[in-house]
Structure 1
Amino acid sequence: MSSTAASLYADHLATLQSRTATALERGGFDHLAIPSGTLHYQVFDDRDYPYAVNPQFKHWLPLQRNPGSWLVVTPGARPKLVYLQPRDYWHVVPQAPEGYWVDHFDIVVIRKAEDAMQHLPRNAQRCAVLGEPQSALGKYAAYRPNNPQPVLDYLEYHRAFKTPYEIEMLREATRRGVRAHRAAERAFRAGASEFGIHLAYCQAAGQDANELPYSNIVALNEHGAVLHYTELDRLPPKPARSFLLDAGASHGGYACDITRTHAQDTAGEFQALVDAVDAAQQRMCAQVRDGVDYRQLHLDAHLALAGILQDAGIIRVSPEEALSTGVSSTFFPHGIGHGLGLQVHEVAGFAASDRGGTIPKPEGHPYLRLTRVLEPGFVVTIEPGLYFIDMLLEDLRAAGRGDSVDWDRVDAFRPYGGIRIEDNVVCTADEPVNLTREAFAVP
């Protein structure tokens, strides 16, 4: 943990306390109770799925491997952590609580999960309990997560506004992710398979597949046209023409989300297309400003990418016509990005206010994950892409738009799959801070 993050932690907690007091008042509750979550077991088996901590829990604490614990927040009082440290010789037991955060909590250590009951508020009906159903606790499941909507609406809406502590945690996650991206590119250029590149990435990140914030997308050649490609071939293709890597890393419960695309031939046409997307992406990142409607940023990205397609001779229509007719969506079918934080796709991306409501997506753009107006403290991804996806190209022809495309140029680029460039950007009151480029700038 960096000393910077530790020095910012008290103010982070004060912000969460203030938000919680308002959220509880809105919902008519006295306490906030948050279970860390429990293990899930596979049906007809005794194997558990990888444990994932409740995001509401890790918002307060940098703890990610502590199932069966609880956090209780009461306005005007120190938060209480009920920390499960079981007697167990089959598994590694969590260490005693330690670190920069412990002095900010009243901590009770329990040995059995059910012992948490005696340390929770006596009247469960006065508690907003945020968690999954199987975290219910007590003989009659008195502490059953009720997830009251007014409380969730308020807390999740304001999670978009990252505290300085959270920005520092995201910066650390990004540094780890960039280190791993560099190792993965070296493995690609050395001739490794998708699986081998994935292993090189995990080694450099110092995290295994279950610790990463999402499954690595490691795509060589045509596989880059599959937006969420996670198959990981064990043998490299011959030749290996292109490499698309969408992979992140975690730090203290926070995620980075980075994508880079590489050409084996750094002097060829595909590299020139990658360079054009990269330059356009940096201009898009510069648009992450206070007061900018993220929906407009998405539509502007379509115009920019359609311009690249036109310049490359891939489409025969203007960017404006490509956008209005859906031609641009054939080559750029996903959204320009999303919120980022405790979750890779941060919550409340469509929230109209902290009392609920939804801001609609632009018509014809169903996969955009964020529709809010940007404000200082927002952290978003900017990830434009161009892909040569057979299914969508077939749909374009079937819709009578085949004349908009130079099919010989499409065929020339099909073997490369696609391009995506993704950075994590902080909206401020002034110029945006690009955490990803910042990390890549350090040798």
Structure 2
Amino acid sequence: MTSADWPILYRQYLAQLQSRADAALARGGFDHLVVPSGTLHYQAFDDRDYPYAVNPQFKTWLPLTRTPGSWLVYTPGTRPRLVYLQPRDYWHVVPQAPAGYWTEHFDIVVIRTPEEALPHLPAAAGCAILGEPQSALGDYVPNNPQAVVDYLEYHRAFKTPYEIAMMREATRRGVRGHRAAERAFRAGASEFGIHLAYCQAAGQDSEELPYGNIVALNEHGAVLHYTDRGRLPPKPARSFLIDAGGSHGGYACDITRTYAADAGDEFQALIDAVDGAQQALCAQVRAGIDYRQLHLDAHLALAAILKEFGVIKLAPEAALATGVSAAFFPHGLGHGIGLQVHDVAGFAASDAGGTIPKPEGHPYLRLTRVLEPGMVVTIEPGIYFIDLLLEELRQGPHADAVDWARIDAFRPYGGIRIEDDVVCTDGEPLNLTREGFAEA
């Protein structure tokens, strides 16, 4: 993509965004949409602030992520307005003046103090104000009307070409980080050292990355959200699981890979089997597919692998029905992704609200909608050897369905997860992650 493409894609995206906002405001009976960018949070009994996170409803409109105290105003039939806080400050870096392909579509007002925004906001009584309570300014207190939020969040699942392009850029960052992290692992680095190598290659630190990096060696791979990052490498280093992403203009990528230290050992063969199953699941990201069924299909595929490797003795269908497969694959298959890593409205029945239930016995699934063109989802099956869940399995009625000697052989490796970001289209799915690795 060339620089000439961005203005065209953004203009098309903004037209779609305005159309959605028009419908959402009409649904809620409001005249204006007002969105604060958010403010800094401070720690209790201290003057230290938490890392600033922009309001997702604000960055929906603009590729701005580090502008606290600003406001977005939209009234149907008019140009959107950006009230941009550029304070006079010598303690901190002041946000640069607005620039880029998007600015020609906005009326931009620069203010020097937060209170200067007030004359540039419409009468509060007719506004749908989307934000957190501490963003309140005078009469402008976020009311987050449910009808407006439901409509906007439901339709945010359908990504435009502009948004896919933003996610491609985020993926390029993530892939650079992943390749550097694997090299660091092969060179014998610690979890902390691998994390630093990732950040250096991705060009982003913990405040810019879309989520905290999971960098796990050996048995730490069995901790689903492991973030301790040991300072010394284990001896020996058997395996490496990394779940880490990147950001671009407020959009995220979410990538997980698992590696064995010895490409010839059985754990590498198990990784290869999970990778094959993962790619088959990615190929099923098609319009009309119920994501809940895809999740259950993942259980069947992973149970078949466990049986093939002698870990369980049950047929896949029995492993799913009895809950044995959940002891090795306890989380959901994936989630929507875009402006947020775990994007909103994953359970939405319609743009008027309501929820689609999760399959019984699968409480951690984050997406239950039927897939449609434009949706971007993660596909992240995994097999783990988690002491807590294995102990529960050993004490339960299906203990004899497991070969415990095989469990002991794999336990020191922790676990396996493979994750890609996949776009549902009118035809073949588009795997942004595999595309990114191939390009690199």
Q: What is the TM-score when the length of structure 1 is the normalising length?
A: 0.98
Tell me which residue corresponds to 2:210: 213
Tell me which residue corresponds to 2:261: 264
The equivalent position to 1:223 in structure 2, one of 220, 225, 228, is: 220
Tell me which residue corresponds to 2:190: 193
Please give the residue correspondences for 1:34-113 in structure 2 after superposition, counting only pairs within 5 Å.
34-113=35-114
Tell me which residue corresponds to 1:295: 292
- Give CA deviations for 1:155-209 in whole Å, capped at 9, x if unaligned: 0000000011000000110111011100000000000000000000000000001
| Separation in structure 2 between the aligned mates of residue 189 and residue 45 of structure 1, nearest angstrom | 42
Per the TM alignment, residue 125 of structure 1 is displaced from its structure 2 partner at its CA by 1.0
- Which range moves more in the overlay, 390-399 or 356-365? 390-399
Counterpart residue identity of residue 412, structure 2: P
Per the TM alignment, residue 397 of structure 1 is displaced from its structure 2 partner at its CA by 1.7
| Separation in structure 1 between the aligned mates of residue 71 and residue 94 of structure 2, nearest angstrom | 17
- Give CA deviations for 1:409-443 in whole Å, capped at 9, x if unaligned: 00000000000000000000000000000011124
Counterpart residue identity of residue 316, structure 1: K
Tell me which residue corresponds to 2:179: 182
Counterpart residue identity of residue 392, structure 1: L
| Separation in structure 1 between the aligned mates of residue 88 and residue 249 of structure 2, nearest angstrom | 25
Is residue 291–residue 369 contact of structure 2 (8 Å, CA) maintained in 1?
yes
Tell me which residue corresponds to 2:23: 22
Per the TM alignment, residue 346 of structure 1 is displaced from its structure 2 partner at its CA by 0.2
Is residue 5–residue 169 contact of structure 1 (8 Å, CA) maintained in 2?
no
- Give CA deviations for 1:272-324 in whole Å, capped at 9, x if unaligned: 00000000100000000000000000000000000000000000110000000
Per the TM alignment, residue 214 of structure 1 is displaced from its structure 2 partner at its CA by 0.2
- Give CA deviations for 1:354-375 in whole Å, capped at 9, x if unaligned: 0000000000000000000000
The secondary structure found in structure 2 opposite 1:281 is helix
Counterpart residue identity of residue 234, structure 1: R
Counterpart residue identity of residue 84, structure 1: L
Per the TM alignment, residue 6 of structure 1 is displaced from its structure 2 partner at its CA by 3.2
| Separation in structure 2 between the aligned mates of residue 406 and residue 114 of structure 1, nearest angstrom | 67
Is residue 67–residue 84 contact of structure 1 (8 Å, CA) maintained in 2?
yes
| Separation in structure 1 between the aligned mates of residue 88 and residue 158 of structure 2, nearest angstrom | 40
Asked whether 1:131 is paired with 2:131, we answer: yes
Per the TM alignment, residue 210 of structure 1 is displaced from its structure 2 partner at its CA by 0.9
| Separation in structure 2 between the aligned mates of residue 185 and residue 8 of structure 1, nearest angstrom | 34
The secondary structure found in structure 2 opposite 1:288 is coil
- Give CA deviations for 1:361-397 in whole Å, capped at 9, x if unaligned: 0000000000000000000000000000000011112
Per the TM alignment, residue 2 of structure 1 is displaced from its structure 2 partner at its CA by 5.4
Give the count of matched residue pairs. 439
| Separation in structure 2 between the aligned mates of residue 439 and residue 110 of structure 1, nearest angstrom | 40
| Separation in structure 2 between the aligned mates of residue 253 and residue 6 of structure 1, nearest angstrom | 17
Tell me which residue corresponds to 1:161: 158
| Separation in structure 2 between the aligned mates of residue 188 and residue 229 of structure 1, nearest angstrom | 16
| Separation in structure 1 between the aligned mates of residue 69 and residue 278 of structure 2, nearest angstrom | 43
The equivalent position to 2:280 in structure 1, one of 263, 283, 289, is: 283
- Give CA deviations for 1:121-150 in whole Å, capped at 9, x if unaligned: 0x2010000000000001xxx100000000
Asked whether 1:309 is paired with 2:306, we answer: yes
Please give the residue correspondences for 1:373-412 in structure 2 after superposition, counting only pairs within 5 Å.
373-412=370-409
Per the TM alignment, residue 225 of structure 1 is displaced from its structure 2 partner at its CA by 0.1
Q: What is the TM-score when the length of structure 2 is the normalising length?
A: 0.99
Quick one: percent identity of the two aligned structures? Answer: 78
- Which range moves more in the overlay, 411-420 or 95-104? 95-104
Asked whether 1:351 is paired with 2:348, we answer: yes
| Separation in structure 2 between the aligned mates of residue 152 and residue 393 of structure 1, nearest angstrom | 41
Tell me which residue corresponds to 1:250: 247
| Separation in structure 1 between the aligned mates of residue 377 and residue 2 of structure 2, nearest angstrom | 23
- Give CA deviations for 1:11-68 in whole Å, capped at 9, x if unaligned: 1000000000000001000000000000000000000000000000001100000000
The equivalent position to 1:413 in structure 2, one of 410, 414, 435, is: 410
Tell me which residue corresponds to 2:120: 119
Tell me which residue corresponds to 2:233: 236
The secondary structure found in structure 1 opposite 2:421 is strand
Query: Where in structure 1 do 4 or more consecutive aligned residues deviate above 3 Å?
Result: none
The secondary structure found in structure 1 opposite 2:89 is coil
The secondary structure found in structure 1 opposite 2:258 is strand
Counterpart residue identity of residue 432, structure 1: P
| Separation in structure 1 between the aligned mates of residue 228 and residue 12 of structure 2, nearest angstrom | 43
Is residue 6–residue 101 contact of structure 2 (8 Å, CA) maintained in 1?
no
| Separation in structure 2 between the aligned mates of residue 362 and residue 114 of structure 1, nearest angstrom | 49
| Separation in structure 2 between the aligned mates of residue 211 and residue 107 of structure 1, nearest angstrom | 25
| Separation in structure 2 between the aligned mates of residue 16 and residue 420 of structure 1, nearest angstrom | 35
Counterpart residue identity of residue 28, structure 2: G
The equivalent position to 2:335 in structure 1, one of 323, 338, 343, is: 338
The secondary structure found in structure 1 opposite 2:216 is strand
Counterpart residue identity of residue 130, structure 2: L
Is residue 177–residue 256 contact of structure 1 (8 Å, CA) maintained in 2?
yes
- Give CA deviations for 1:314-335 in whole Å, capped at 9, x if unaligned: 0011000000000000000000
Is residue 34–residue 70 contact of structure 1 (8 Å, CA) maintained in 2?
yes
RMSD across aligned positions (CA): 0.7
The secondary structure found in structure 2 opposite 1:257 is strand
Gaps of 5+ in 1: none
The secondary structure found in structure 1 opposite 2:119 is helix
Counterpart residue identity of residue 40, structure 2: L
Is residue 323–residue 329 contact of structure 1 (8 Å, CA) maintained in 2?
yes
